[in-house]
């Protein structure tokens, strides 16, 4: 057996993304089913909140979709919608705060309006974005969440 040391090439790990999006990134045939599933999750979550049937899981789902919409805007898909998406994210913060006070996952009024406006923009983004851009937006969203988590875990390191 040889005593040669094996050099290991430093590799940068790609951020986590859903296996489905990774596998189908370049498949146009998969575009519509994937984007419809993303929109269905978002609109179903919003509907549950509207009916007072929201949950932490649905809150997370809707929040992640809004973060993907934000990243799609940053990539160049409907960049003018970024302020509307930011307003929807503020609405999500208010939903979370209200749940902590009242114990109910619900949305109404202006918060509902901002969320519907943002989801309409997300719908339009998904209609024109490639699966590659959607996967890139998802990866950037995950990177941002991981960075935020690290900053909370180690506040003095930032």
- pLDDT per residue over 86-141, tens digit each? 999 999 999 999 999 999 999 999 999 999 999 999 999 999 999 889 999 999 99
Please, which pLDDT band fits residue 8 given cuts at 50, 70 and 90?
very low
Write down the pLDDT at residue 21: 60
Q: Is residue 117 in some structural domain?
A: yes
Write down the pLDDT at residue 19: 66
Tokens 């969440």: give the residue: 145
Please, which pLDDT band fits residue 148 given cuts at 50, 70 and 90?
confident
CB 70 within 8 A of CB 82: yes
Which spans in 4-130 are helix H?
Answer: 19-24, 31-50, 56-75, 82-102, 109-128
Write down the pLDDT at residue 114: 98
pLDDT at 81 over 60: yes
If one compares 115 and 24, the residue with the highest pLDDT of the two is 115
Write down the pLDDT at residue 139: 93
Write down the pLDDT at residue 96: 96
Q: Is residue 141 in some structural domain?
A: yes
Domain extent for 135 = 30-153
Q: Is residue 16 in some structural domain?
A: no
| pTM recorded for the entire structure | 0.78
Q: What is the mean pLDDT of the chain?
A: 86
Domain count, the chain: 1
**Tokens, residue 5:** 């040391």
Q: Is residue 21 in some structural domain?
A: no
Q: Is residue 13 in some structural domain?
A: no
Q: Is residue 18 in some structural domain?
A: no
Q: Is residue 41 in some structural domain?
A: yes
Q: Is residue 6 in some structural domain?
A: no
Q: What DSSP string runs through 24-61?
A: HTT-GGGHHHHHHHHHHHHHHHHHHHHTT---HHHHHH
Write down the pLDDT at residue 156: 67
Terminal-residue alpha carbon distance, the chain: 46
Please, which pLDDT band fits residue 20 given cuts at 50, 70 and 90?
low
Q: Work out the average pLDDT over 25-35.
A: 74
């Amino acid at each position: 057996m040889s005593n040669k040391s094996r050099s290991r090439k430093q590799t940068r790990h790609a951020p986590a993304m859903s296996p489905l999006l990774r596998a189908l990134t370049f498949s146009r045939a998969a575009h519509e089913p994937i984007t419809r599933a993303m929109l269905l999750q978002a609109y179903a979550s919003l509907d549950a909140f509207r009916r007072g049937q929201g949950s932490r899981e649905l809150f997370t789902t809707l929040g992640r979709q809004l973060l993907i919409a934000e990243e799609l805007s940053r990539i160049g898909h409907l960049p003018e919608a970024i302020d509307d998406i930011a307003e929807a994210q503020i609405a999500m913060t208010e939903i979370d705060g209200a749940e902590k006070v009242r114990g109910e996952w619900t949305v109404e009024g202006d918060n509902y309006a901002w969320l519907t406006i943002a989801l309409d923009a997300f719908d339009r983004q998904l209609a024109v974005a490639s699966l590659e851009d959607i996967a890139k937006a998802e990866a950037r969203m995950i990177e941002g969440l991981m960075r935020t988590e690290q900053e909370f875990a180690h506040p003095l390191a930032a």
